[in-house]
Chains A and B, each alone.
Chain A
Amino acid sequence: AQSVTQLGSHVSVSEGALVLLRCNYSSSVPPYLFWYVQYPNQGLQLLLKYTSAATLVKGINGFEAEFKKSETSFHLTKPSAHMSDAAEYFCAVSVTGANSKLTFGKGITLSVRP
């Protein structure tokens, strides 16, 4: 079975500062990894995905993530935070086959201080 660990439940950064949201995964087979963002009272929006091609993945809104197999990590970064980035972020893992559901981490709430 797959699992995802997102350390910490809340991250606060200043506007313009680096955003780093951590995600570690566990999977016995090669995983597909995703980051989703959720704004209040909305569904999940896909930010980016790793699908075994390039290990550095660029997504929407200036976010990127790097797949590191040796560290079983898929951390999300953005060089400069904007106020509009304040939201909840979820890392998720999936695999090919009958068990292709998304398994999510607990989520991290990002706050951006002016």
Chain B
Amino acid sequence: KAGVTQTPRYLIKTRGQQVTLSCSPISGHRSVSWYQQTPGQGLQFLFEYFSETQRNKGNFPGRFSGRQFSNSRSEMNVSTLELGDSALYLCASGPDRPNYGYTFGSGTRLTVV
């Protein structure tokens, strides 16, 4: 059973640019969540999508957005990049049962210069 696939693994962008990250969940999982991990703030929840609808949202500015497609694949977009957006972005997929736990991808390491 294939795991959660995130692409690309590494990304370097310039301040002011925008970036799109991709996540393919485990087959059959309809929930996809995104987390930002930084040394200072730790793991912070960005948003969750379920069946193409945003179901939950964290406390991030509107520059952070996402979407989910009919095949459950999800993309996350960050516009007008700032240096502070440098982080490991993790995607997690799961069934519609929070007690099952979530399976995480290896993440996309974004560096903003």
Contacts and interface: CB of A to CB of B under 8 A. Distances in A.
Nearest to B42: A106
A78 B109 CA distance: 31
Contacts, number: 60
Given A43-B90, A43-B107, A49 B101 contact: yes
A51 B58 contact: no
Contacts of B92: 44, 102
Interface residues of B, number: 24
A84 interface: no
Contact of A102 (B4, B45, B55, B109): B45
A101 B45 contact: yes
Interface string A90-114: 1000111011111111110000000
Contact of A104 (B42, B100, B106, B109): B42
B24 interface: no
A17 interface: no
B66 interface: no
Contact of A46 (B33, B45, B101): B101
A45 interface: yes
A105 B43 CA distance: 8
Nearest to B43: A104
A70 interface: no
A42 interface: yes
Given A46-B102, A94-B99, A106-B42, 15 more contacts: A34-B101, A41-B109, A43-B90, A43-B107, A44-B92, A46-B103, A51-B99, A96-B99, A98-B55, A100-B56, A101-B33, A101-B58, A102-B102, A104-B35, A104-B43
Interface of A: 32, 34, 36, 41-46, 49, 51-52, 90, 94-96, 98-107
